[in-house]
Amino acid sequence: MKTRVLSSLAAVLSMAAIGAAMPRTATGETIETTKQVSSSTTYSGTVSEIQPSSSTIIIKSESAPQPMRYTFNEKTMFVDSAGNVVQQDTIRNQPVTVYYSKDGDQMTVSKVVVTKQAPSMMEKKTTTTTTEVR
């Protein structure tokens, strides 16, 4: 008898838990909810062109044979690696990482991070002239 009461109680509690977890309207109908997840992808290379008039940025990379074309908008952030805002016109020929999402054939950039450029090699030549006084 005790086992039967406990089994019945467990069944009632599990049904209540399932019912509480499902969203319902005032009339008792179930409401379906959807969750939209967006993902962001990154690409690194050097900015070969930036065209503010068409909101386009073109990135060349050593790993890809063709330059990649991206679209940016008023929400796109242009920053350096420390998070400081940079002007769009200063990033040409700079190494960057772009964070973008793809919608059909269009790739829209959410953030452009200018990475530090490797210091250029400097060659130092020293010439020594010896003069002999007689």
What range does the domain containing 87 cover? 41-114
**pLDDT score, position 15:** 52
CA distance 48 to 67: 8
pLDDT at 53 over 80: yes
Q: What are phi and psi of 53, to 5 degrees?
A: -65, -35
Task: Return the residue matching tokens 């003069």.
Answer: 131
The two structure tokens encoding residue 24? 């319902």
**pLDDT score, position 38:** 54
Long-range contacts of 29-38 (CB under 8 A, 24+ apart): 38/101
Express each pLDDT in 8-46 by its tens digit: 545 544 554 445 444 544 556 666 665 544 567 999 999
**pLDDT score, position 60:** 95
In this prediction, residue 64 has a pLDDT band, given cuts at 50, 70 and 90, of: confident
For the chain, the domain total comes to: 1
In this prediction, residue 84 has a pLDDT band, given cuts at 50, 70 and 90, of: very high
pLDDT at 7 over 60: no
Q: What is the average pLDDT across 66-89?
A: 94
pLDDT at 66 over 60: yes
User: Does 32 reside within a domain?
Assistant: no
CATH number at residue 67: 2.40.50.320
Express each pLDDT in 97-127 by its tens digit: 999 999 888 999 999 999 976 444 445 555 6
